[in-house]
């Protein structure tokens, strides 16, 4: 009986962690990724065809974004629409 009680509280804890903490870190993670994407748009815009007058200087940052760069380029060119992206972020009404 005592053991079950402990188990119940543990499950309860896991339930709230799953429902609140994990989803909130997911939200923060999504926000972090979005900020990173936006930062990359500003410094590597010429990869997307938007001229960057200082690309000769921002190229210096490539080594530190290299791993994210291919995925980022794909995400930027594959975006269906701004609206779909916004809905993905906030959830459909």
State the residues that interact with another protein by CB under 8 A: 25, 28-29, 31-32, 35-36, 38-39, 42-43, 46-47, 51, 53-57, 59-67, 69-70
Q: How far is the CB of 73 from another protein (least distance, A)?
A: 9
d(CA 45, CA 51): 7
Spatial CB neighbours of 46, under 8 Å, sequence gap ≥ 6: 52, 55
How would you classify residue 79: left for phi > 0, otherwise alpha for psi between -120 and 50, otherwise beta? beta
Tell me how far, at minimum, the Cβ of 2 lies from another protein, in Å. 31
Q: Shortest Cβ distance from residue 51 to another protein (Å)?
A: 8
Q: Looking at beta carbons only, is 10 or 36 nearer to another protein?
A: 36
């Amino acid at each position: 009986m005592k053991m079950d009680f402990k188990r119940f509280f543990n499950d309860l804890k896991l339930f709230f962690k799953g429902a609140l903490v994990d989803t909130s870190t997911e939200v923060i993670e999504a926000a972090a990724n979005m900020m990173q994407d936006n930062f990359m748009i500003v410094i590597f815009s010429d990869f997307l065809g938007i001229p960057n007058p200082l690309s000769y200087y921002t190229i210096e940052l490539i080594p530190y974004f290299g791993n994210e760069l291919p995925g980022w380029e794909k995400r930027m060119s594959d975006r269906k629409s701004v609206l779909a992206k916004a809905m993905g972020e906030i959830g459909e009404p």
